[in-house]
Structure 1
Amino acid sequence: MSTAIAVPVSLAEIARIAGVGRAAVSNWRRRHDSFPSRIGGTDVSPQFSLAEVEKWLRDNDKLKDVGGREFLWPRFEALGSRDESGLAIAESARRMRAPRARIAAPDLSTEARELIGEAARLGRSEGPRETFEFLLQRWLDTHVRQLSTTPPQLATLMARIALGTRLGEDDGGLTVFDPACGTGHLSAAAAQVHHGSDLTLLGCERDPALAALASARLGFATEGRDVSVEIATADALRDDPFADLRADIALCNPPFNERDWGYEELATDQRWTHGLPPRTEPELAWVQHLLAHLRPGGTVVVVLPPAVASRKAGRRIRGSLLRTGLLRAVVALPPGSAQPHSVSLQLWVLRAAPQGSAAGPASQDALLVDATRFGKAGAREPGPEWEALTDFVLSAVAELDKPESALPEGAVRVSLLDLLDDEVDVTPGRYTASSTEPSRVELAASWDDLTGSLTELTNLVQHLSKLDFEGGEPQTTATVGDLVKAGALTLGAGQQPSDTKTPDRDTAVPLLTVADLLMDGTPSALLAPSAAQTVAETGDVVVAGVVRAFKAWVHEGPPIALGPQLYALRVDPEKLNAHFLAGCLRAPANGRQAGTHASSSSRIDIRRLHVLQLPLEEQAGYAETFRRLTSFEQLLTRAHHLGKGLVNDVSDRLAAGGLTAGR
């Protein structure tokens, strides 16, 4: 493959192209003099020429069954501009579906135009939709800190809520509207959930690259169906391209906290039927914009930050939405449901009165649903248990128009009399927090969870208890220092960061410290990449060299910078098994031998830690047993916490009375 420009690739990208681990590429670079020389980057994050890497991989028979997509993506990334690479991907998708189409973006560079042609040809041979989705996902991952997307699970949930709550006769057609569509996640979900014919998807996006990608995505998502798609490039609030539209459902994940949304120029806009949104409440401008485009009986489902439910500045508009019967439900989601992941976002469900009906009566209730408990407790990456969350929310919203029906625990109907107080706070947790006792479903799930953990523990006990050890003389060991000298591994020591400036979030790496390990093991800071900083990659063995936190494990996941008293050991995979090494290093006797233990803060001399000397093929069996031992330890801890929690929860329920069985 020839390239018109020098395309840089990192070690991680080379590993992805070759279908191997990051450590294997580092080993190739160290052992083969013919490996391409670095053309950029730093010692910590070197970059190489894609063309030279491809030639070397092919010449040395290092390529597995890798498609051309992996070689294609670095060239899109090398275009430099986020907008140009996004537009080029969208144009590639258009050419995949219509080979004779002309390029619709005239300002693209010569390199981008050539790349579009190559991508279109590759897509037609390897699958147009698969190739586009691959390139789109890599583009989104690369610019994740600049773009806010709606996760597919949340988009599907929103579409199902909207379709399940709209009123009026279904004439076979459905119009879906999203005035801030991004790359089209919500419209694509609606097309997937709605199986009827005569579907119209209308969207608006002010970013040309996102609008083009949304159009391309929806083209693939609706292929072979009677679906009309139109994505306009415009600022929906300031320059509404669909002013006369009335949609059946409207789905939206609008931009948050934007002060420059058009407050001055839109002060007399007819859309503000519930009051002019304050400058600090752009989200309520989006809510009224969505309602203005809703036909009678239509439903809006919109993602909003939690502060919109309670901020003083928006209480007048919230009160009007409640009094007119438009705001029907508010669902509090667990942190991690969408960006920003640290916030418990909300779904607002609003519905226009059906044709011929007046607005809802003043005595109407609002449904408030607190689904925050469906987050993954203790997970490094916050996020919901999507299946359980979806089932709970849909079961609660299904009772929206059944005032006499029972609601699942965590959902309540609140009268307008209670909501329309001085604060007009519609935060679900405010009204559901009074019931802190675990529900029957939650208790049953906890018992099932404990039973599963105990079953896994039993299986591991049966295996580990059968381990037998030969007597006689101890086997030969080598120290970490010896292995470093022999070239079996390289050792890097973590350091205190010297740069105190706020890092660029696009390039920053998490910083792990001993203090983090003593808490929950989650990095507490971000660090700008530096040649002087030790960074652990996937497959590296990380060792905490201090008595109070002594441990060793194989790092998995994205690169992570190491603070003082943490060490990264990168193995030669042809000499050492990383899991075998980590298991040997974390043996308590090993730490006691290598440390002074004068106090809990004493350091351990990493180079003095011992490793059993075994042939590589024999290390695998030890590595598997070490893994099982680690799983056994983790399950013991989990069972302890589950059991303790159940004792507390059941005690609370017993103390509250109502025992009917098992006395």
Structure 2
Amino acid sequence: MGLVIAEAGLRLASPAASLPWPEYVPQLNAGEHHLVDEAMRAGLTHTGGEVFRVLLERWLSTHVRQISTTPAPLADLMTVLADEVRERRPVRRVADPACGTGTLLLAAARQWSAREPVRLTGCDIDPVLGRLAAARLALAVGHEQVEITAADTLRDAPDAGVQADVILCNPPANERDWGHAELATDRRWLFGQPPRTESELAWVQHVASVLAEDGAAVVLLPPAVASRRAGRRIRAGLLRAGALQAVVALPPGAAPPYGVGLHLWVLRAANASRGQGRVLLVDAADCRHTPTEGGTQVVDWDGLEERVSAALRGDDPPGVVTVPVVDLLGEETDLTPARHVPPAVAISGVELSRSWARFDHALVAVRDAGQALRPLASVHPPQARTVVSVGELEAADAVALMSGGPFPDGALRRGPRPDHGVPVLMTAHLGEGQGEQWWMAADDVERGERERELTVTSFGDIVVVTTFTEFDAWVESSAPVVLGPHLQRLRVDPERLDPWFLAACLRVRFNARQAGTHASVSSRVDVRRLRALRLPIDEQRRYGAIHRQLVEFERAAAGLSAISGALSGTLSELLAVGQIGTE
């Protein structure tokens, strides 16, 4: 299907052209050619670029766990860095030796093609991804400026002899079978043969070998490459030759894997006159927006670009230091910016006052919620009560159960959720404080709910997590939400059951233990075996109101914990750098 989409994109880019079919790409069959024709007909009513974009996004969302792409904001940042390093000189050729679907080359086209025609050359070991990149770039700048090859860059070196003005690269990480043995005497290893465990440094040296004399390269790497002992000798060689100009530590969430703060290495062609100079280290891990109510932090791309650009221009923004090469050479040659940037706490008196104001507000909220609950007392001896199971309530039509399940192919999206997006809840991501959001388009949700392929909550529904370790139950107040596997939706008859009262009964741990299967380590909770008190509706509502107060108390306490922790951390940092005093 990827080749079908690629062929459609290439034909939409040049409908009249007869494009050669590479030998390394499998031929399409009659049915697949019919799909290409359907895409061409869609291009008559929509722009070709829009048709291809929608098809590519759907295909990538289907393979979201197998194919990792560079986010567009990061790609744009990498082009800005390269432009700053080259002092905005003309760019004639941009290369990406691990181009994937061409995101970095597309960013390069946006950055430089408006000034003058730019030759975009790329390579990827996967012919499907390479073909998609060729189509994507052809739609953006035309076939004449694009040259994409399918090959193993390290083993085959298809771009040997190419001198690129700019190289942008997000190479594969943590590879073991990259050709360590057969490439032992390769001429590209100017700074030493990379160990088997240092495939990333093989990519770095390859990039340096095809860089023009006045060129610049920006490479995205895991943070461990800057400090692993096995690569110390190669890092030292890069420093001595003046090939490594800067290392930028990005905030977590900038690119997959989203929980890791990756690094950008800025490279120049080896030059003896630049050797033994200085290296710019930028720690931009704090360039994130304020956490949202759900705890998610989003990368502050504007702030990140401003800090890095200012550092390259020679300014002195926070989190930046220029270190002499001689100070980095040693037993470790550790290039991690956070270990060299001097500690500085950029917080003003006004910001500190605002932090204390938030703390006071949270403290009042906890106190008010606690005072509302303080009159409650335990009744001894307990009153005799009868219980009823959820299964019995379902049989009596007092509650309707519906299980969450798998999602339609291509419907699940990952990334910042737009206004029209519907959030998706999965047990694997419960409690995550950071990372990308999962969501679906509103049209897909409406269609899936209509065809009973999706379980979507409404305001007042009860959601139950059926895995024993994450077991919980709550009343949904931010509907709609699409539920994934191991989640159950309980929709009650409000004339017979109060949802807040029922959720209070279901969520207690001893209820889960009694209803658990205990068949394996990953035991499940049978929702129909969960039990609740049998009470009149008026008494249910009174208990439900108390449960609402308990939920408010929990949220207020969690908010106070988060705010007090952040405030304590800020004061500790001020104390550690000698910037604290009393008024």
Output the TM-score relative to the length of structure 2. Answer: 0.71
Q: What corresponds to 1:138 in structure 2?
A: 58
User: Once the 2 structures are TM-superposed, how far is the Cα of residue 449 of structure 1 from its aligned partner?
Assistant: 7.5
- Give a deviation string over 1:407-461, Cα, whole Å, max 9, x none: 31x22222222210011111122223x62x63227x86676688789999999xx
CA-to-aligned-CA distance 1:252-302 (integer Å, 9 cap, x gap) = 001112222223333332222112222222211111111112112211100
User: 1:396/1:536 Cα in 2 relative to 1: closer, same or farther (>3 Å)?
Assistant: same
Q: Which residue of 1 aligns with 2:37?
A: 117
* Equivalent residue letter for 2:311: E
The whole-number CA distance in structure 1 between the counterparts of 2:534 and 2:2 is 51
Matches within 5 A, 1:8-27: none
Q: Structure 1's 521 and 339: CA in aligned 2 closer, same or farther, altered over 3 A? A: closer
1:375 Cα shift? Answer: 5.5
Determine which of 403, 422, 439 is the counterpart of 2:346.
439
SS in 1 for 2:216: strand
Deviation (angstroms), 1:630: 7.5
Match of 1:150 in 2: 70
The partner residue of 1:179 within 87, 93, 97 is 97
Equivalent position of 1:491 in the other structure:
401
Give me the whole-angstrom Cα distance separating, in 2, the residues matched to 1:586 and 1:645: 32
Q: Does 1:399 pair with 2:333?
A: no
Distance 1:597 1:386 in 2: 37
* 1:92 and 1:116 in contact (8 A); partners too: yes
Q: Which residue number in structure 1 is paired with residue 243 of structure 2?
A: 326
Residue 299 of structure 2: aligned partner: 386
Alpha-carbon distance in structure 2 between the residues aligned to 1:447 and 1:586: 38
In the comparison of the two structures, how many residue pairs are matched? 497
The one-letter code matched in structure 2 to 1:197 is E
> Distance between the aligned counterparts of 2:548 and 2:56, measured in 1?
36
Aligned CA distance change for structure 1 residues 345 and 520 (closer, same or farther; 3 Å): closer
**Cα–Cα, structure 1 residues 202 and 480, in superposed 2: closer, same or farther, change >3 Å?**
same
What is the match of residue 474 of structure 2? 552
Verify the 8 A CA contact 1:249 1:300 in the aligned structure 2.
yes
Equivalent of 2:169 in 248, 252, 256: 252
2:150 paired with 1:233: yes
Alignment of 1:335-346 (within 5 A): 335-346=252-263
Corresponding residue for 1:366? 279
Q: Which runs of 5+ in 2 are unaligned?
A: 366-387, 405-423, 436-452, 516-526, 539-546
The answer on 1:98 being equivalent to 2:98 is no
Which residues of 2 match residues 641-660 of structure 1 at below 5 A?
641-650=562-571, 653=574, 657-658=578-579
The equivalent residue for 1:425 is 334
SS at match of 1:231: strand
Deviation digits for residues 329-370 of structure 1 (CA, Å, limit 9, x no counterpart) = 1122233322233333211111236xxx743142x2212222
Which of 289, 292, 305 in structure 1 is aligned with 2:209? 292
Distance across 1 between alignment mates of 2:133 and 2:122: 9
Give the match for residue 440 of structure 2. none
Matched, 1:561 2:479: no
Aligned twin of 2:121: 202
Quick check: 1:330–1:426 contact (8 Å CA) kept in 2? Answer: yes
Deviation at 1:550, TM superposition (A): 5.6
Question: Do the aligned partners of 1:281 and 1:313 also contact (CA within 8 Å) in 2?
Answer: yes
- Conserved 8 A contact 1:308-1:314: yes
Provide the C-alpha distance between the structure 2 equivalents of 1:265 and 1:160, rounded to a whole number of angstroms. Answer: 36
Distance (whole Å) between structure 1 residues aligned to residue 139 and residue 95 of structure 2:
18
Match of 1:542 in 2: 463
Q: Is the 8 A contact 2:290 2:297 kept in 1?
A: no
- Cα offsets for 1:616-638 (capped at 9, x unmatched): xxxxxxxxxx9999899757743
- In the alignment, the residues of structure 2 paired with residue 569 and residue 287 of structure 1 have an alpha-carbon distance, to the nearest angstrom, of 51
Secondary structure class of the residue paired with 1:137: helix
Residues 195-220 of structure 1, C-alpha deviations (whole Å, 9 max, x = no match): 41222211111211111110111122
Q: In terms of mean alpha carbon deviation, does 247-256 or 125-134 score higher?
A: 125-134
Preserved contact between residue 536 and residue 568 of structure 1 (Cα < 8 Å): no
| In structure 2, distance between residues paired with 1:181 and 1:381 | 34
Q: Secondary structure at the match of 2:139?
A: helix
Question: Are the equivalent residues in 1 in contact too, given 2:98–2:122 (CA < 8 A)?
Answer: yes
Cα 1:91–1:598 shift into 2, 3 Å: closer
Q: List gaps (5 residues or longer) in structure 1.
A: 1-84, 460-477, 495-508, 524-534, 615-625
1:372 shift after superposition: 2.6
Q: 1:330 to 1:87 in 2, by over 3 A?
A: same
Could you tell which deviates more after superposition, 641-650 or 411-420?
A: 641-650
Deviation at 1:303, TM superposition (A): 0.8
Query: Does 2:324 align with 1:415?
Result: yes
Question: Matched residues in 1 for 2:352 and 2:135: separation?
Answer: 44
Structure 1 residues 301, 127: CA separation in 2 closer, same or farther (over 3 Å shift)?
A: same
Change (3 A) 1:637 1:234: same
Task: Give the drift of 1:243.
Answer: 2.1
Alpha-carbon spacing, 1:229–1:444, altered in 2? closer, same or farther (3 Å): farther
Q: Is the 8 A contact 2:221 2:264 kept in 1?
A: yes
2: CA distance, partners of 1:270 / 1:111: 47
Partner of 2:182: 265
* Aligned residue type for 1:360: R
Measured against aligned partners, the alpha-carbon deviations of 1:5-47 in whole angstroms (never above 9, x if no partner) come to xxxxxxxxxxxxxxxxxxxxxxxxxxxxxxxxxxxxxxxxxxx
What letter is aligned with 1:400? Answer: L
Q: Which amino acid aligns with 1:412?
A: V
Q: Between the two proteins, what is the percent identity of the paired residues?
A: 39
Q: Aligned with 1:372: secondary structure?
A: coil
CA contact (8 A) 1:331 1:371 kept: yes
Q: Tell me how far apart the structure 2 counterparts of residues 170 and 655 of structure 1 sit (CA, whole Å).
A: 44
Contact 1:201-1:227 within 8 A present in 2 as well: no
CA RMSD of superposed structures (Å): 4.8
State the shift of 1:659 in Å: 5.9
Taking the TM superposition and a 5 Å limit, the aligned residue runs for 1:351-362 are 351-352=268-269, 358-362=272-276
- The DSSP-based 3-state class of the residue aligned with 2:155 is coil
Whole-angstrom CA distance in 1 between matches of 2:322 and 2:316: 10
Whichever residue aligns with residue 122 of structure 2, its letter is: G
Taking the aligned partners of 1:154 and 1:486, their CA distance within structure 2 comes to 55
Alpha-carbon distance change, 398 to 644 in structure 1, aligned in 2, over 3 angstroms: closer
Over 3 Å counting, the alpha-carbon distance change for 1:631 and 1:450 in structure 2 is: farther
1:282 alignment partner in structure 2: 199
SS in 1 for 2:311: coil
Q: Is the 8 A contact 2:102 2:134 kept in 1?
A: yes
Distance 1:327 1:648, change over 3 A: closer
Q: Which amino acid aligns with 1:190?
A: A
Task: Give yes or no for contact 2:311–2:320 (8 Å, CA) kept in 1.
Answer: no
Work out whether residues 96 and 124 of structure 1, in 8 Å CA contact, stay in contact via their aligned partners in 2: no
Q: Aligned partners of 1:522 and 1:649: how far apart in 2?
A: 20
Q: Secondary structure at the match of 1:334?
A: coil
Contact 1:183/1:214 (8 A) holds in 2: yes
The code of the aligned residue for 1:231 comes to: I
Matched, 1:190 2:114: no
Q: Which amino acid aligns with 1:129?
A: G
